[in-house]
Structure 1
Amino acid sequence: MSLDVSVRQRLGAFQLDIAFRAEGGLTALFGRSGSGKTSLVNLVSGLTRPDEGRIAMGDRVLADTKTGLFVPAHRRRIGYVFQDARLFPHLTVRQNLVFGRWFAPRAERSADFDGVVDLLGLSSLLARRPQRLSGGEKQRVAIGRALLANPRLLLMDEPLAALDEARKAEIIPYIERLGDEAGVPILYVSHSVSEVRRLASHLVVLANGRVVANGPAAGVMDRLDLFPLAADQEPGRELDAEVVSHDPSYGLTTVALAGARFHLPTVAAPIGSPLRLRIRARDVMIATRAPEGISALNVARGRIVSVRPDGPSGMDLLLDCAGDEILARITRRSFDELGLHPGTKVYAVVKAVAFRPAGERPPAD
């Protein structure tokens, strides 16, 4: 089901002027705080009215200022998942889930309870009350409750923002399954680069109340000019890895990535555990030949996907290293002397001490 949005709304001194079309799957609304994400979600959900414009899901028009049409929120059949789960504390997980069905007309209650429970891994939790659940478990229940309301669209407004990294890692695989198996289009609000890269099939990037990029997520994420909008942290990339081995004699852990094995300071995680790493762009060196006789332990073969100037003397390079994306920041002089350009095959060289867990802020230099 497509979502068509073309709206304008003034909120004090802030002007929202947004138009985009998304086709099914998981569409991420992405941008810094204050870019207009939540204001747009409120318009789509029917919590606020646009000053001007039109919103439609498939062939069903939800708002059209030209004709005066405005479908109220309770009739839009949109499921809403907030940052906090907002479960009923006096009800069990099963009762919270069943409550969602009351929001769907009896003739349209097609969502399968057992199927939703299986999809979200809730079978062992059904008898518990919310106070006995972790943050990630509460969010899974909230998603299940929304699905059992048989929504035509699922809105997820920064559903992982209140969770720590461990709980985020717990719930993300379930959201991935939603996109593949639930059959409900999802509008997902986030300002996290890693969440969007992993989850989104379509990406709408907002800044100052405007759409600055719109299209398939893979293509939009290659736009290096959007990194200043992505987050407040220093430019870099996050990598999904798996712990392969530990070497106590050297204090190192070896992890496997898509196309390489990297060594980093010991991580307290069992062998086989998933691990998400962050590499700052300035911690990556570039070589055009396989390096020899260097102290850096980590070398990955890759290809330059795109480039962007960084001020008068720097260049940012986005690399594809066998499916892993690495961002490198080098001087313009090095870029020219090495004869680099999009498509050049290179080696990314990273010191072991440069790695840090994703979400951890780098130390001040």
Structure 2
Amino acid sequence: MTRPGRLGVGVVGTGRVGAVLGNALRGAGHPVVAAAGISEGSRERAETLLPGVPLVEVPEVVRRAELVLLTVPDDALTDLVTGLGDLGAWQPGQIVVHTSGRFGTDVLAAARGVGAIPLAIHPAMTFTGTSLDLSRLAGCPFAVTGPNAVLPIGQALVVEIGGEPVVVDESARGLYHAALAHGANHLVVLVAQAAQALAAAGVADPGRMLGPLLEAALDGALRAESPSDPSGDRGPGAISALTGPVRRGDDGTVREHVAVLGALGASTGAVDVLAGYRALARAATQRSLAAGLVPDAAATRLLDALAGGDVPDVTSATPAAAPGMTGDAGWLEQEGRPADDPSAGSDDGPTGPDRPQEDER
């Protein structure tokens, strides 16, 4: 028997995100009444995660659904919503949800203008597009943005699929997304740089060497950044988990690091490794000083050490090719898209209401 308050769900974009969230909503008792997918991979995901759901054109998905889930790339979202508005597809009282981290609900103005209920619900996780993601939704934070009167609807939907709703104001959505991108995307770059240096040092399996150290460092930083008492006082935050030469004020070691990483850049073209080291070590020094973790004199010596040596011209050298660098198949995999996904190319085709791309985060 259908539980009260169940909504007919339409999924626009059965990429890795849409197919999984559609499955999760179905598991919570909301029937998925229609879906739209373009690529062969998206259609296969729909068959696997949304079996029996009819695949139809986008306007037909919107026509059939009480809850429309828009899981398309950020750059396609505005044109899609506007195009559907031009077709008169949006309906009063219809709940329209997008999963973009970048946008709040202003991007849904065309739907809101006819009386639809706009919500932005962004899961702070990456997706494989398989059933493995369903268990990972449990406890996953979701940024929920919307008009105050309808925020409880978005929060309830998140809770129903096992997530943890976190309200993010419309005006803060860009900063929220930049913070996540900075933390997650640039962590990957940091690992790539450290792994390249280890490989140059003769370590056969850099990932194996880095694993325990990075896992412990990340765990310590995240624990330090979480409020540990009812007042919510974080103290100095994640920087208090810092270890290594900056925390010790060991400028001699820092000078040696600058020298050997400079040599690595000169021999391989990987000048970004030293540039990244310098930028992060300066930030570590400044934050440690502000938190009272290193004295003024030590901070001055550290900054002097980081300024020493020749500064490579990062515009005149190209890092040696390594797995996962822009332009090869590994990069596309890191972007959350299969290397052979047509949506990764430049000839994507139209991205209007009839041909949206899927969000392959």
TM-score, with structure 2 as normaliser: 0.26
TM-score, with structure 1 as normaliser: 0.26
**Structure with the higher fraction of residues in strand conformation:** 1
By relative contact order (CA 8 Å, sep 6+), the higher-ranking structure is 2
**Structure with the higher fraction of residues in helix conformation:** 2
